[in-house]
């Protein structure tokens, strides 16, 4: 599990990522047996208050979820490179 601080509806909170699999781009060239459609990322998470208690009232839109995935990927990249963001 990985936690990072984010903002939803103007309120600071914590996103706890419980499962993640990056998107897989499709392949559309070459012989048909080597082609496959793209697969979306799998992203499972919980939204917590800053005191790490569940935030059941947090409303996450599709745009918010896309942003959370981007923020998570940036957070993981920073950790891999030893950066503090």
- pLDDT tens digits along 3-40: 999 999 899 999 999 999 999 999 988 899 989 999 98
Domain boundaries, the chain: 2-80
Which segments of 19-83 does DSSP mark as H helices, in order? 62-80
Give strand ranges (E) for the chain: 2-8, 11-21, 42-48
- pLDDT tens digits along 36-68: 999 988 999 999 999 999 998 888 998 999 999
Q: What pLDDT does residue 85 have?
A: 65
- Which CATH entry fits the domain spanning 2-80: 3.30.300.260, 3.40.109.10, 2.40.10.10, 3.40.30.10? 3.30.300.260
Model confidence at 83: pLDDT above 80: yes
């Amino acid at each position: 599990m990985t936690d990072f601080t984010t903002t939803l509806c103007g309120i600071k909170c914590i996103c706890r990522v419980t499962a993640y699999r990056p998107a897989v781009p499709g392949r559309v060239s070459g012989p048909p047996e080597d082609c496959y459609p793209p697969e979306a990322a799998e992203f499972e998470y919980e939204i917590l208050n800053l005191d790490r208690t569940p935030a059941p009232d947090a409303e996450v839109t599709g745009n918010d979820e896309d942003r959370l995935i981007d923020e998570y990927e940036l957070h993981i990249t920073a950790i891999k490179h030893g950066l503090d963001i």
